[in-house]
Structure 1
Amino acid sequence: MTMRTSRRSRWPAAGLEIVASCFIAGLPGLAKAGVPDPPPITEETTQQLFLAVSVNGVRKAGLHPFAQAADGLRADAVLLRQLGLRWPGSEQAEGEIALAGLPGLEVNYDSAGLRLSLVAPVDLLDRPVLRLSSGLASATPADPSTRVAGAVLNYDLYSESRAGGVSASAFGDLRFFGEGAAVWSQSAVAHAASRTGAPALVRLDTQWQVDDAESMTVLRLGDGLTGGQGWTRTKRIGGFHYGRDFGLQPYRTTTPLAAFVGEAVLPSTLELYVNGLRQSTQQVQPGRFQLDAVPPGTGAAVANLLITDINGQQRNVHFDLYGAPTLLQAGLSDWSVDVGFLRKDYGLRSFAYDHRPLASGSYRWGWSNTLTLESHAEATTDLFEAGVGSVWKLGDRAGVLTTSLAASRGDGTSGNQRAVGYQWAGIDFGFAVNSARSSAGYRDAASRLEPALSRGSDSAFVNFGTPVGQWSLGVVRQLLAQSKPAHYLNLGWAADLGRGATLSLNVQRVNDEKKSYSTSLTFSMPLDSRVMTSASVQQRRGSTQLSASASQSPRDETGWSWWAQTATTNGRDPSAQFQVGRLTEAGQWWVGTTANGGSAGTSVYASRNGALAWLAGDLHALRHVEDAIAVVTTDGVPDVPVRLENRLLGRTDARGQIFVPQLNAYQRNQISMDTLDLPMDIVADKVQADVVPERRRASRVRLPLRRIVPVHVSLRNQQGQPLDPGGVVELRMGDSKTGASTRVGYDGLVYLEDPPPGAALFVRGEAGRCTARLPDPLPPAGGEPTPLECKP
């Protein structure tokens, strides 16, 4: 223990504490000749003190009793525990404890100011580990009371005319939703051509789905995809699906968090940096802490935790991180169950299903923060397949190892499939290797309707950065059941030339054949924020193609776009294509033409996409509504600008409504209105709202506006001079006060909302009191302020 005593006078700050200490301690009263000295401290005597105490820079409320003895300051064990100290045997300790006997405790006693500063090592602080978080947003549940019943039809239309005839195609996705929990949807595709006769309409998917965001589960009846693992094939079925969906809680992090553990002796500021970028700033009190943070997306990263205490002293703690999105947090599970019938000829026939029922189940579980276990099983008539797998993070930053093993029996045969893979990614370097093999008798349920599984594959990928650009190399070897192995090689390079310009090279080769390779070199450069140009040369199978293109993208909300390209092959067969389009609040359309020097000739085409929404008793034409939509109402006030995340979307219609089709489900979407252009007699109680919509549904958002009677008056004294600013103005009818008080502005101006006609204005200012009376009827809104005489 270190003890320091200071006798500097601090009367202005501690006078009351000194007087209180003298009184409570029973020191001799003040004599006429002055204050006598206290008796000397001996081994048999102690002096009672009441001190202001701080522990590790944190001030404790009130005054606390201590005893000054020959061996230094003493305190009752109960008091020391209340101050947040612990030491060996502190739970059973009783009576007075000498501060000098606590190991590592630094005691700073200011006898003049009666202040005691204790600085204890972290081991002496009786505080739990402080849990902090970085990058973890809190979720806000969706409010079912804001649901709006209605329907949405997304559509895509395309038509083309060429020498051979005219063709057209259409895609539609219709969904209905009520005030209940379910959403019903139906999608279909249609196509027709002048040469093929009658048009064709094909049903795609019919679904009835209920999402439960609290439990993160989805119940679906109808068509859809089964669940699965990375080493299985998903199947398209018609039937029943029930399973986990983490997308229902998008703010929840499913991968293991990076934990930064440290300690602070004094109140400190924590700054977390990952790869040199600051992620968060936190304030901590003395003691141990743990900072949980979202790890980087994929691969290795370097984290630094900068700890700065109240004295300005800094410590930098280094951590190694490795992000593995395929891992689950310890104890977290992901699962799905599917029962139904396999779809056949999807996109070609509407109601083609296999007659044999299928049952499938998948399960993933976070065994620990470094190991996730996987399993899958499926069964159909005379066929059963099951397997297990794992995802294992090796150490802090040694990469991720994946394994799987599956076996099947049925159709008179049996077999197995095994796979292993490893990947490592860093800031400027990464690679991955994978290998899979399956025996001749291995089957899954899809094998009866789809091409047979390959007998195996091997792949290796590497990417790295250099001062001259980013490089990538990939090699794939695939073992086919009915032919010799296929080999694929891909080499890529890309360099940033500055000002947005890039140069890229790509080389591909297939099966080691002399003429089975292609090489392309592409240069692209933006001319401004919307116009992009590019030129490329491609060589493949002995021919060389040159091409150049330019395009302009639309603005964020609405605007024109265009795209033009010209190309030639071996100096012959020139071709050109041009299209122009426009993005509007009701969707997007394009028209274009292509001209080919060969036999293809010239064609003209047009396309259109958008949505029709029936909501709140009104039909609106919108852009595609892929997810959630909001019906924003301003209580009947038209022509009000509405923004989504500060982006202008449009203005309310004649009914005071606007549809916002670009919301993210189960996330906070900030919708606001611009009130600067509103008339003077319309005010907003709030100008923005955070809406959390449900998936593929509509929500109502109310931004209330109300109409008022605004009155501007100019208060003047009996000499006709404006009253001084700052005076308090009270509005009264008879003896009762009406409304809140306001103040006189410059030039005697006073603004009132909805005042009663003929009400009295009582003004209290530095010049005294006076009274004015509003006219009856009130003056019309707008125009010059009405002058009123304020009489004493």
Structure 2
Amino acid sequence: MRLAFSLLCFLSFCAYADEARFVMDLPLVIDEFEVGAVTVGLKGMNLMFVDGASFVRVVENHLEPAFLAAILAESDEGGDISVEGFEKAGLGIDFNQATLKVAIRPTEAQRKLKSVSSARRSTAFAADSLANISAYMNYNINQGYVHQSGLSEKGAQPLRGFLDGALNFGFLGPVTLEWAAVYDEEEEVSWARDETRLIIDDQSNAIRYAFGDVSYQSGEFQGAPNLLGMSIERLYQTLQPFNNITATGQQTFTVDKASRVEVFVNGILQSTQRLTPGRYNLSDFSFAEGLNDIELLVTDDLGRVEKISYSLFLDSSLLKRGISEFSLNAGYRRQEGFQQKIAYDFDRPAASGFYRYGITNNLTAGVQIQGEQDLKIYGIETLVGTPIGTFGVTASSSESETSGRASAGAARWKTALPDSGSIRAVSVQFASIFNERNYMSLGQDDPNSTYRYQHQARVSGALPGDVFIGLAVRKAQAHQHRGADEKGVSISLSRRFRWFTSNVFIDHVESDEDETSIFAGISVPLGNGRQLRGRYDRLRKTTGLNYSDFPVNVVGDWSGSAEIVRVTQNEEEHRASGSLSYTANRFVAGATHDYAQEGFFEGETEERTLLEFSGAFVITDGHAALSRPVYDAFVLVTRHQTLSDTKILVNETLAGPTAIANNFGSAVIPSISSYRKQEISWRADNLPSGYDLGNTNHHVVATYKSGSHFTAGSGANVVAIGTVASAANMALKAGIVRPTDGRDFPDRQTFTNRNGRFVVQKLEPGTYEIDFGSGRKAQFSIPADQVGYMDLGTIIQDDEQ
């Protein structure tokens, strides 16, 4: 205020001093909010010009680029914009002599469109808590036994199993070597390698590089045979799983005053944010496929509430403007067949790729290319979003030395209809597909398309009474000698009742032989992951009843299933099967038993048992442990030596802990998903009295098949309690605790109460002094085997006056 008053006095003086001219920096205001400082020229008490460079720096995030360019076009040779220049460009500007602030008044159309993102938005979580080197090796052993069979010899079957694992080079970034091998006692060469590849992830750009045995994405009409070579792909869902790259159409809203904005998507509150005045759209929220109901509650500082409602249509194939997806792959084709050994045809190099780009939020286009020595395939695709739905067209052409040139194409349309009373979530889809007889895709040795034309239409939605219905019709014209023409219609119905869910599917096909199939099912949830299901299949003439207890991935969990089935398709047959699995801390063991008999307890019998045992060995930065099988990344939690007799329960749930660190080794969480932020927590069972466990809640963002390491507890676990004895008044004195034995240990703070009593947390064994200032210090020691609470008793203060 003093500065503003001084400047005001100075300007007032200058106004009478021959209308002096001068340049200074003043705040720029938009909608009563200061957005930065601009350099201005004043003459007396009047605004003459604004420096263009400083103006752009402050307002580039607030004004439309085209409008800002029009303002800059009014600059003079020195880069200054006069008041008349602003007015000519259409922007109102004022100088408040009382507050010494410059204000501009952009219209809604002149404001830059801003984006309101979900509070959970994360383009790419940075990897955290990763080891420099980590690795795991899974093992799986299964032993079969035939009790009775008309097809196989009785007795123990050949032992089979597999190994797979990964070596992650964390010090290089997201670099992983993954491998696998299979074992079959029956084969002449028992061991055989499976797929092996080097994976390098560029998470910031969502690109994955793979070298070795590669599999990859493909577009419509493209084949994707496995290759020995390299692959470069943009994988948003894998590397940036929380980044929404799907276009949602353009829908904006305006906030006139600073307000709190609550965003509801399909009735669920997804974000609460405070927004300044301006134009906004929504991005990175959890929109569902199809039509989404959006509701905004805008509450200003006076408590006035405005409700804004509209709908957004989401098509998962329609990319945002400027977003691209691609897959580029080259190598040698794997030999076809079911042999155990992986082999490649080094006389058949092949390449495959596609590229898709969001030209606008409503237009996505792409190209496709594939080929090998005697086959070339080209394709294009276009996807257009309109108010009545999304239209997509794909066209492809193949040219083969043996089969000549042929083409294929598809046209698709899908839309979602707004809710009407109790009819809701209605979606409509249509597709028409064309294949010439000799069209080939990569991976085919001969043309094999069955149908020349296929037309399909489907509508689905929810009816009154929470009945979900789906209706579909289709018609197909077959190539001569490859099949028969076909027409079909199907209907599906499902409804959830209070205690159970039922579903029915009916499909009628008219072809060489007319056929009607009916499937009916009912499922009854029993709680705690258990379910009872019954089914009837008219086509396969089966009736069955199944009980399942699904695994919950905690230590000590038992899961399994039991099923009985009656089949009357050819001859009457009865089947019974059961499985049982136990999830231990460091392995998973299971057994499956299958029984089948012709007739009703008569005729030929088939009876088999399979025993399975699996686990893993993991290592991260020199710490090793046994574990259940690892499926992606893992976290290892070790105990500090001061907790050698204490169990550490990791990620505990109502059903039990996910892993336990005990006398058999560290705890391992084997089910961490890469590139997703996940919480890790632990607690100690029978923690020593007074032991300071420290921070027990952490988060980890793992890279692909990486390992992370945490330590539960530390040497700094002692809580020391004592009393300072001194003639001086020690009431409420602050002190600094520091080691005196030369250790690198952080200082701790403490203070005394009125009686000179103090508490110091997170100390480790050693000698210390408490410095109360003015040369007053007290000495104490903590023995090497001390954990938890320690009563120091009365310590003598040395007064160094």
Partner of 1:528: 527
The separation in 2 between residues aligned to 1:701 and 1:777, in whole angstroms, is 26
Q: For 1:687 and 1:368, how far apart are their aligned partners in 2?
A: 47
Distance 2:553 2:362 in 1: 42
Match of 1:357 among 333, 349, 353: 349
Q: Is the 8 A contact 2:739 2:767 kept in 1?
A: no
Provide the secondary structure at the position in 2 that maps to 1:498: coil
CA distance in 2: counterparts of 1:433 and 1:125, whole angstroms: 38
Q: 1:321 aligns with which of 312, 318, 322?
A: 312
Aligned to 1:472: 470
Query: Which residue is equivalent to 1:706?
Result: 715
The alpha-carbon distance between structure 1 residues 301 and 595, as it changes in their structure 2 partners (threshold 3 A), is: same
- Describe the superposition over 1:7-41 as per-residue Cα deviations: whole angstroms up to 9, x where unpaired: xxxxxxx9x999989988999xxxxxxxxxxxxxx
Alignment counterpart, residue 107 of structure 2, candidates 104, 123, 131: 123
Counting only pairs closer than 5 Å after superposition, residues 440-589 of structure 1 correspond to structure 2 as: 440-448=437-445, 451-452=448-449, 454-468=451-465, 469-481=467-479, 482-499=482-499, 501-511=500-510, 516-540=515-539, 543=541, 545-558=542-555, 559-568=557-566, 573-589=573-589
Name whichever of 573-582 and 175-184 sits farther off: 175-184
Q: How far is the alpha carbon of 1:257 from its aligned partner? A: 5.5
Residue aligned with 2:444, SS: helix
Q: Distance in 1 between matches of 2:108 and 2:565?
A: 77
Q: Which residue of 1 aligns with 2:23?
A: none
Show CA shifts across 1:382-428 (max 9, x none): 33221212222223x52343332334242152211121111223551
Q: Is the 8 Å Cα contact of residues 586 and 610 (structure 1) preserved in structure 2?
A: no
- Secondary structure at the aligned position of 1:175 is classed as strand
2:270 matches 1:271: no
How far off its partner does 1:494 sit? Answer: 0.8
Among 636, 641, 645, the alignment partner of 2:648 is: 641
Instruction: Give the equivalent residue in structure 2 for 1:629.
Output: 634
Q: Is the 8 A contact 2:166 2:177 kept in 1?
A: yes
Matched, 1:152 2:159: no
- In structure 1, the partner of 2:180 is 187
1:141 and 2:146 aligned: no
Mapping for residues 312-351 of structure 1, pairs under 5 Å? 312-351=303-342
Find the partner of 2:678 among 659, 669, 692: 669
Partner of 1:750: 758
The secondary structure found in structure 2 opposite 1:582 is: strand
Aligned length: 727
**Mean Cα deviation higher: 674-683 or 627-636:** 674-683
Which residue matches 2:607? 603
Distance 1:124 1:321 in 2: 22
Q: Is the 8 A contact 2:581 2:589 kept in 1?
A: yes
Q: Which amino acid aligns with 2:672?
A: L
**Letter of the 1:577 counterpart:** S
Q: What residue is the counterpart of 2:406 in the other structure?
A: 415
Report the 3-state secondary structure (helix = DSSP H, G, I; strand = E; otherwise coil) of the residue aligned with 1:205: coil
State the TM-score, normalized to the length of structure 1.
0.76
CA 1:54 to 1:533, structure 2 compared with 1: closer, same or farther past 3 Å?
same
Deviation of residue 611 (structure 1)?
3.6
Q: Deviation string for 1:62-112 (max 9, x for gaps)?
A: 9xxxx9xxxxxx9646699999999999985569x99xxx989999x9xxx
Q: List aligned pairs for 1:721-732, cutoff 5 A.
A: 728=734
1:305 match? 296
Counterpart residue type for residue 563 of structure 2:
Q
Change (3 A) 1:58 1:591: same
Structure 2 match to 1:430: 427
* Residue of structure 1 in register with 2:146 after alignment: 161
Shift in alpha-carbon separation, 1:160–1:220, aligned structure 2, 3 A: same
Q: 1:515 to 1:435 in 2, by over 3 A?
A: closer
Aligned equivalents of 1:741, 1:692: Cα separation in 2 = 33
What does residue 358 of structure 2 align with? 366
Structure 1 residue 222 displacement after superposition: 2.9
Deviation at 1:299, TM superposition (A): 0.9
Counterpart amino acid of 2:377?
Answer: E
**Mapped partners of 2:770, 2:304: distance in 1:** 63
Q: 1:185 to 1:346 in 2, by over 3 A?
A: farther
Structure 1 residue identity aligned to 2:288: G
Deviation (angstroms), 1:578? 2.7
Q: Would you say the 8 A contact 1:394–1:401 is kept in 2? A: no
- Residues 378, 546 of structure 1: alpha-carbon distance in 2 compared, 3 angstrom cutoff: closer
Alignment CA distance shift 1:371-1:785 (3 Å): same
Does the C-alpha gap of structure 1 residues 173 and 733 become closer, same or farther in structure 2, counting only changes over 3 Å? closer
Return the index of the structure with the highest Cα Rg: 1
Match for 1:230: what amino acid? E
d(CA) in 2 for partners of 1:348 and 1:776? 67
Q: Secondary structure at the match of 1:706?
A: coil
Shift of 1:229: 0.7
Distance in 2 of aligned mates of 1:210 and 1:252? 20
| CA displacement at 1:557 relative to structure 2 | 0.7
**Does the aligned pair in 1 maintain the 2:735–2:749 contact within 8 Å?**
yes
CA contact (8 A) 1:57 1:266 kept: no
Query: When the two structures are superposed, what TM-score results if normalisation uses the length of structure 2?
Result: 0.75
1:99-248 mapped onto 2 (5 Å cutoff): 122-123=106-107, 129-134=113-118, 135-142=120-127, 146-155=131-140, 157=142, 159-164=144-149, 165-166=154-155, 167-168=157-158, 170-177=160-167, 179=169, 182-191=175-184, 203-246=193-236, 247-248=238-239
Q: Residue in 1 aligned with 2:382?
A: 390
CA contact (8 A) 1:55 1:117 kept: no
Residues 526 and 716 (structure 1 numbering): CA distance in 2 closer, same or farther, change over 3 Å? farther
Gaps of 5+ in 2: 14-26, 418-423, 741-745
Q: 2:18 aligns to what?
A: none
Q: 1:203 to 1:786 in 2, by over 3 A?
A: closer
Kept in 2, the 8 Å contact 1:297–1:325? The answer is no
Residues 614/507 of structure 1: CA separation in 2 closer, same or farther (3 Å cut): same
Distance change >3 Å, CA 250–CA 448, structure 1 → 2: same
Q: Would the alpha carbon gap of residues 779 and 604 (structure 1) be closer, same or farther in structure 2, given more than 3 Å must change?
A: closer
- Tell me which amino acid in the other structure corresponds to 1:652: A
In 2, Cα distance between equivalents of 1:379 and 1:273: 48
Letter in 2 for 1:133: S
* Contact 2:718/2:790 (<8 A) preserved: no
How much has 1:151 moved relative to structure 2? 4.2
CA contact (8 A) 1:487 1:510 kept: yes
**Structure 1 residues 779 and 702: CA distance shift in structure 2, 3 A:** closer
Partner SS for 1:562: strand
CA gap of 1:231–1:171, structure 2 versus 1, over 3 A, is: farther
CA distance in 2, matches of 1:466, 1:779: 71
Work out the CA distance in 1 between the residues paired with 2:638 and 2:785: 31
- 1:399 equivalent in alignment to 2:390: yes
